[in-house]
A and B are shown apart, each in its own frame.
Chain A
Amino acid sequence: MRESATTLLREIENEHMGLESECEFSVSFWPSYKDYGEPDLLLRFSGSGVRSLLLIVEVKLNSYKSGSGSNDQLRRYYDLLQDKAALGSLLADDPITALVYLTERYSADELRDSVECSKQVLASRRMFSLQWQDVLEAAEERGPFEGSLLWEVLQFLKGRGFERFRGFPQSSANFEMLSGHFYASQYFQRYVKLKAIPNGGFYGN
């Protein structure tokens, strides 16, 4: 029988970890681990008096996860999160460990396949799918001020066309709005022009 879906937030709350309390945060891009590979992001949230959180984020745009069965990419990364020999001090304080699979398309089937081939007991409650559309909406809900890092992320994701479908326009007046520069820059730029966002921290300037 399939378990009911859960969320990372719910799992964190179940473990009484307060992400909203002040905590330290570290990030590693593409850390390489023998036998496991190279996940895109390794995040660690820690602080005094709270259980830490160790998170691997694997990101895809157009491609799918690699490998299958025992070589399944997501399974390998979740196995890595349980390997004290490989992660050493990162696992020393018994953190909550979880994997997030970030994609543009709906990827529940891919993730379910990885959970099913995992031998880890908690895999079904610690491997999560996330869509770029969710990231965009989360950024939007925060109402970032123009020029902030989050605002730049928002512009970038919109520029890549990661907005969720919100209905067809109900007035032909909207077509006019979409026929000019705004339309060209916001909807159909395949690659966002860095010049469009001056002094962009997001791009490393």
Chain B
Amino acid sequence: METEVGRQMTAALSAVRKMHFDCSRLLRDIDKEFDGYRSVYASIATTDLSYDVKTGLYMAEGLLRHYAKDVSPSQVVAVNIVFFDVGRKVTEPLFIIAKILYAAPLEVATNRNKAWDPWRAYLEWNKERKHGEIIVLEGPLKKDSILRIAVLAVPLFTIDSETRAQDVVRRVRDFAFSEEQEAVQACS
């Protein structure tokens, strides 16, 4: 005998699967916006999935994609997609992108403790949480490992087209910290 709640659960899980699939395509397609960059975590898109019976959570809480240029290995443009964050009362999935200036070059590509820095920057270190605005956080942050961050978050489901995704990515990718702006002005 089928149940209504069971059918609803199946529909909900299908929606989640569809969201995951769209996220995969989104992350794959925005690689084009990072021509000349390398993917810091190669093709890895999430972490901390558990196989353990005691965990009680068997879904990715979010996705990640970080990009860096070999010529400036301390600077990363990092994308986090937040599916849910119960503790911080996130009411809907978020697309967070951050330009992060680390204190030291990222020499270890698999240093996972940096994977969720955009997430933490927007939801933990920043108190304003204004969607759609670039928020600059001056460091030092995270035990002095981060000098500064420019972070932008939008509700994931406001990304209704490839163009919208490109706009959000480009705003942060092309963002210049104040000293970069000064350097450009000095050169010109």
Contact = CB atoms under 8 A, between A and B. Distances in A.
Contacts of B26: 165
A78 B25 CA distance: 31
Nearest to A180: B14
B19 to A, nearest CB: 7
Contacts of B25: 161, 163-165
B45 to A, nearest CB: 13
Contact of A106 (B10, B14, B32): B32
A188 interface: yes
A187 B21 contact: yes
Interface in A131-161: 133, 161
Given A167-B161, A168-B160, A178 B28 contact: no
Given A168-B156, A178-B15, A178-B18, A109 B161 contact: no
B144 interface: no
Contact of A175 (B18, B31, B35, B159): B18
Contacts of A167: 159-162, 164-165
B15 to A, nearest CB: 4
Contacts of A108: 35
B36 A179 contact: no
B31 A168 contact: no
A165 B28 CA distance: 8
Contact of B31 (A105, A172, A179, A187): A105
B104 interface: no
B35 A109 contact: yes
Interface of A is mostly: loop
Size category of the binding interface on chain A: 20 to 34
B161 A166 contact: yes
Contacts of B36: 109
Interface in B1-46: 10-11, 14-15, 17-19, 21-22, 24-26, 28-29, 31-32, 35-36, 38
Given A105-B28, A187-B21, A164 B15 contact: no
A26 interface: no
Given A167-B160, A167-B161, A167-B164, A104 B21 contact: no
B97 to A, nearest CB: 15
Interface string A65-101: 0000000000000000000000000000000000000
Of A164, A168, A179, most B-chain CB atoms within 10 Å: A168
Contact of A179 (B15, B19, B22): B15
A176 interface: yes
B157 interface: yes
Contacts of A188: 17, 21
8 contacts: A109-B36, A164-B25, A165-B162, A166-B162, A167-B162, A168-B157, A172-B15, A178-B18
